[in-house]
Amino acid sequence: MTAIQASYRSLSLLADLNWDRLLYGATIVLALYTGSQLGTVLMAP
């Protein structure tokens, strides 16, 4: 049980430290997807 609690605390710490990096990555992916969709619509004859 102690090992489970320790691993949960370490995963929680990693999530707290790196949440902004995940947000930046998700924002970039969303921007690329949106740009490709907009480009497809604008390039259609």
Q: What is the chain's percent helix, strand, coil content, to nearest 5?
A: 95, 0, 5
pLDDT recorded at residue 40 = 92
In angstroms, the CA 34 to CA 27 distance is 10
Which stretches in the chain have pLDDT values below 50?
none
Q: Identify the residue whose tokens are 């907009």.
A: 38
pLDDT recorded at residue 22 = 83
Q: 22 vs 2, 19, 32, 40, CA distance in Å? A: 28, 5, 15, 27
pLDDT recorded at residue 29 = 96
pTM score, whole prediction: 0.58
In angstroms, the CA 44 to CA 29 distance is 23
